[in-house]
Amino acid sequence: MRKTLGRIFVIGLSALIATGQQAPAPRPAAPAGAAKITTFSASTSLVVVDVTAKDKSGNPIEDLKEGDFTLLEDGKPQKISVFEFEKLTIDPAPPERPTLEDANAIPEAPVKTITAEAPGQVQYHDKRLMVLFFDLGSMGIPEQLRAQESALKFLDEQITTSDMVAIMMYTARLQVLTDFTASRGTLRDIIQDLPIGEMAELAEMADNGDDDNEDNGAAFVADESEFNIFNTDRKLQAIQDAAKKLSALPEKKALIYFSSGLQKTGVENHAQLEATILMASRSNVAIYPIDARGLMAAPPGGGAGKGASRGTGIYSGSQHNSQRNAINDSQDTLVSLAADTGGKAFLDSNDLSLGLKQAQQEYRSYYVLGYYTTNTATDGKYRHIAVKLNNKLTGKLEHRDGYYADKIWGKFNAQDKEQKLMEALSAGTPMTEIPLALEVDYFRLTPSAYFVPVSVKVPGSAISMADKKRGGETQFDFLGQIQDERKNVVGNVRDFIKVKLDAGDAEKLARRSFHYDAGFTLPPGKYRMKFLVRENLSGKMGTFDARFIIPDLTADSGMLKTSSVIWSSQREPIKAVVGAAEKTSKKAVASNPLVIGDQKVVPSITKVFHRGQSLFVSFDVYDAAPNPADPHARKVAVSMSLIDQKGQKAFEAGPLQATELASTRPNTVPVEMQVPLKGLAPGRYICQINVIDEIGRKFAFPRTAMVVQ
């Protein structure tokens, strides 16, 4: 285990000058776990805890007094300053009987923001707060209609006099369609006017070319992993933003999330899922996902709306297993959201309104407790909350576990900043103040050692810059750790980098991005990487948590063995890689697969390219059969095709011959391609590389989805 190449740090298309020294810095703390009630104070903070008390039979206990509770923060008793009991009914409200005046009245426009009379003040006494969240981007048209129908049925038959309902919708962005209201007419009008059909084209599962996938007649299929990663994160971010909007209300809230599941992808940012759960917990929001697909059958031979298998999976049973696994994977995130926020997932039922009723049943009477914490330190640390019953009373209490204290970044000294950074790496609660994209690749160096480049992308719009008028300056801390299956640390990276931009580049920062990469040497196996970035002017931090596999490419295989394919539009001179020449040996630089001549390849993590750029493709081919005419040469044919959204071939390059072995990597044929994108129309494409070992008669067809702007 070692870092094999110095880091490279670039912005947009230009290399930046940076220093390679190590320096301490703090973790940005999350907002305080509870809102302040009635008034704000610089020296006191009111923490609100919603507590549900149940007896052994699961029925609510409704006769407790303030003196029956003991509140503890980090084990220290706290004085209860706020005590309220919210009593909720589960009896359906009587049918509406509109009058003539109601029919002639002009309906009031809904309030499209979540409002609070005062931050943290209880304003909905004895009311059950429910949010209907329609994720149209994850549902096809049948699922959107089913969700709409079930919501209307809930309003007509199941809503109670205690219910206050808000409606949110996610398409390309999160929208609040109405604040909490008891007006069934307003709610019904909004639900009936949902833009059915919008964003439905994004709901289809990605076709990865497996024989067990549907045969749709296309010559080539897309591996949409790259896009699904960010689509999934955006959906989770939307739920996190919804919970944040609800945080001003101290009451318990139920968020009913209508979707068709959240698809898993090849590289998952678990940090975003954890951050969404954390925000919901802080905001007293329980998530109740409802899978709008209802009861799903998976006929191996295909159904009326889905084609049959491409290969022999219909006969071996592998297609049925593949379909079932895909469904389970899409529901796994929904179950996690529900279980970790105190809600329940409603799956595999055609009557979606039962899920709404389930959320109603769970939200019975509860107590609102508030206290002014005796710990006034603004250290950003997590504080544990415990609630107990006094007077020999027994019962099951449900409440949130704790909150993060406020943090004043400017008061942290160097030691505090360093400690916060280390705590953030080991903490189970991620930070998402800075969004990150991360890519992990692999190249075989020896039969037991693989070079693993890690590339990180940070959007410039999320970064603060000092003195933009005369140029920009900021500082970054990069901290990463790799663990194996036994949770042993097998790789570390730690860097401190200063960035200076001239005035022109600083003004364009919002449309550019920072790129950082590091390299490790690891054996084959399963790993987990946690990566943190902190911007040191504001203290903001971003976390990326990825699990990846390095395959063993020494085993015999009927397929041609290749490394990861690096898709890129940018190369940087080695001299621009800060510290590489001084800190890394020439031998290590020469053996790095991302170094081509005197330049280093910068991977495109998001696979978005511009027509004025060239697409660089580089990868290694392993164990190709020797050429009988020259045992030191190989005959590997490589070509590339770009397929547009209509399934038509938009461009083709090659074939070219790769014959030479790498001098530093045994039995390896390096492949490089450069394709100008100038003549392509803007849009989405499928890029497929066709690799054929002409002597060994083996082949590989790696592909990816890309966007040309």
pLDDT in tens, 46-67: 788 888 898 888 888 888 999 9
Residue 255 in this model has a pLDDT that exceeds 90: yes
pLDDT interval class at 704 (50, 70, 90): confident
Kindly report which listed range (151-155, 374-378, 669-673) carries the lowest average pLDDT score. Answer: 374-378
pLDDT for 79 equals: 92
Cα distance from N-terminal residue to C-terminal residue, the chain: 39
Q: Which domain holds residue 382?
A: 46-87+367-406
**287 φ, ψ (degrees, to nearest 5):** -100, 130
Question: Does 641 reside within a domain?
Answer: no
Give Cβ neighbours of residue 52 (< 8 Å, ≥ 6 apart).
60, 252, 364, 365, 366, 367, 397, 398, 399
Question: Do 193 and 146 belong together in one domain?
Answer: yes
Q: Look at residues 541, 559, 577 and tell me which one is the last residue of a structural domain.
A: 559
- Residue the block writes with tokens 């710990």: 375
Q: What is the CATH number of the domain that holds 484?
A: 2.60.40.10
Please tell me the predicted confidence (pLDDT) of residue 578.
41
Share above pLDDT 90 across residues of the chain, in percent, rounded to a whole number: 18
Q: Are residues 202 and 252 in the same domain?
A: yes
Query: Do residue 141 and residue 285 come from a single domain?
Result: yes
pTM recorded for the entire structure: 0.59
431, part of any domain: yes
Residue 40 pLDDT exceeds 70: no
Least confident of 365-369, 470-474, 694-698: 470-474
Contacts of 242 (CB under 8 A, 6+ apart): 131, 133, 168, 174, 255, 285
Backbone angles phi, psi at 285, to 5 degrees: -115, 120
pLDDT of amino acid 636: 92
Q: What is the pLDDT of residue 257?
A: 93
pLDDT bin (cut points 50, 70, 90) of residue 333 is confident
Average of pLDDT values for 484-489? Answer: 91
Q: How confident is the model at residue 298 (pLDDT cuts 50, 70, 90)?
A: low
Structure tokens at 136: 């149209």
What mean pLDDT is reported for the chain? 77
272 with 285, same domain? yes
Domain match, 251 and 315 both: yes
pLDDT at 284 over 80: yes
Residue 75 has what pLDDT? 92
Q: How many domains does the chain have?
A: 3
Whether the predicted pLDDT of 198 surpasses 90: no
Q: 699 lies in a domain?
A: no
Average pLDDT over residues 132-144: 87
Asked if residue 13 has pLDDT above 70, the reply is: no
Does 434 reside within a domain? yes
Mean pLDDT is lowest, of 132-136, 301-305, 600-604, for 301-305
Q: Is residue 68 part of a domain?
A: yes
Indicate the pLDDT class of residue 217, thresholds 50, 70 and 90. Answer: very low
136 and 241 assigned to the same domain: yes
Average pLDDT over residues 89-93: 75
Q: Which is more confidently placed, 166 or 475?
A: 166
Least confident of 112-116, 358-362, 574-578: 574-578
Indicate whether 93 belongs to any domain. no
Please, which pLDDT band fits residue 441 given cuts at 50, 70 and 90?
Answer: very high
Give the mean model confidence (pLDDT) for residues 614-625: 91
In this prediction, what percent of the chain has a pLDDT beyond 70? 73
- Note whether 327 and 456 are same-domain residues: no
Assign residue 570 a region (left: φ > 0; alpha: ψ between -120 and 50; beta: otherwise). Answer: beta
Which of 52-56, 265-269, 331-335, 350-354: highest mean pLDDT? Answer: 52-56
Same domain, 155 and 51: no
Distance CA 514, CA 505 (A): 12
Whether pLDDT at 365 is above 80 = yes
In a domain, 569, yes or no: no
Instruction: Evaluate if residue 384 carries a pLDDT over 50.
Output: yes
- Residue 222: pLDDT above 70? no
In this predicted structure, the answer to whether residue 19 has a pLDDT above a threshold of 50 is no
Two tokens, residue 173: 């962005």
Whether residue 188 is found in the same domain as residue 229: yes
Range with lowest mean pLDDT among 220-229, 272-281, 322-331, 582-591: 220-229
Considering 6-15, 490-499, 688-697, the range whose residues carry the highest mean pLDDT is 688-697
**Rounded Cα gap, residues 54 and 394, in angstroms:** 9
Name residue 699's beta-bridge partners: 692
Cis omega before residue 92 (within 30°)?
A: no
Residue at 504 is within a domain: yes
How does residue 482 score in pLDDT terms, banded at 50, 70 and 90? very high
- Comparing CA positions, the residue from 607, 424, 380 lying closest to residue 533 is 424
Same domain? 431 vs 542: yes
pLDDT at 300: 60
pLDDT at residue 138 in the model: 81
What would the pLDDT profile of 551-577 be if each residue is shown by its tens digit?
A: 998 877 788 999 999 998 888 776 655
3-class SS string, 162-179: CEEEEEEEECCCEEEEEE
Is residue 459 located within the same domain as residue 555? yes
203 plus 320 within the same structural domain:
yes
Q: pLDDT tens, 515-556?
A: 888 888 999 999 998 888 888 877 788 888 888 999 998 877
pLDDT for the residue 565: 93
pLDDT at residue number 202: 43
| Domain CATH code at residue 283 | 3.40.50.410
